Amino acid sequence: MAISHRNLLLSIVILCNTVHAYSRGPVYRPPDVESLTDSFIRLTVSQSCNVFFGGVNVHVTSNGANAELSLDKSSGSGLSSKNKYYYGFFNAAMKMPSGFTSGVVVAYYLSNFDAFPHNHDEIDFELLGHEKRREWVLQTNMYGNGSVKTGREEKFYLWFDPTQGFHDYSILWNNHHIVFLVDNIPVREVIHSNAISPAYPSKPMSVYATIWDGSQWATRGGKYPVDYKYAPYVASMGGIQMEGCILNTKDIAPACSRSSPSSLDPVDGERFAKLSSQQTTGLEWARGKHMFYSYCQDKSRYKVMPPECNSK
């Protein structure tokens, strides 16, 4: 009888663990890829960034190396790069707030809205908070020349818990393509084709890291707003990398060579002109296992698909 009870208890434990695992979705081991983040030096927050907004909610730690960005009922907060860049590799190691985070948005992105309010460019990572036990959602997006009416969102579930440690979120932007990477795994590639060219980001941009209230849309279309009884929500970041062509404000245009795939520019050369076979495998893995939404598959949203969707 004792053995039967023990077996019954074991079965219940296994069932509970199975249900819990299913609620989070299957966990897949990512493929091995080359580490682009090993190619560039890491900067401190103090070296690379200024306070963008919400200064009282920005706390620089570790002798300037890291920062904590907080959202409370009074304000969100954010950092911006000290320089503007025309093409580059940009990375931040970030840790998301834990607990009930519906409506919370943590963003790492490039934008030039300040300089071009009517025709700005933007390349976005947005991490969207969750309700109950649902995971954070990773959303990527991009705009070029003010093409904000065409949302180019793609959404993913992550293969790790982003609240338990720091993970690298990287953007590679050059004349050949835009690549979004998470822990060096490419999750999205936007090739600079003729179809996407009118909406391809083409002007110098600053780099931003922010946390803010996205109650109107972030979690299940706005169904679950931010609940400030759980505030403050704190996102931690460090490990900054910004490598690219820095805009000299005295010049009319950035002095960057873009003449060939073998250009000497550190992020526009042959190694960065296209994905390696390892990176292509990683991209296919991320999109096949973890992507659950792409604008190019949303026929209810677009009766006529954006032209780049038809060229894929």
Could you list the active site residues? 122, 126
What Rg do the C-alpha atoms of the chain give, in angstroms? Answer: 21
Q: How far apart are CA 39 and CA 203, in angstroms?
A: 25
Compute φ and ψ for 75, nearest 5 degrees.
-175, 160
Q: How far apart are CA 280 and CA 303, in angstroms?
A: 30
Residues 6+ apart with CB under 8 A from 116: 146, 203
> How many helices, marked H, and strands, marked E, lie in the chain?
5, 15
Question: What are the E-state strand segments in the chain?
Answer: 49-53, 58-61, 66-71, 77-81, 85-95, 104-111, 122-128, 137-143, 154-157, 167-173, 177-182, 185-191, 206-213, 233-246, 291-294
170 forms beta bridges with 91, 181
Q: How far apart are CA 183 and CA 160, in angstroms?
A: 10
126 forms beta bridges with 107, 139
Q: How far apart are CA 128 and CA 111, in angstroms?
A: 19
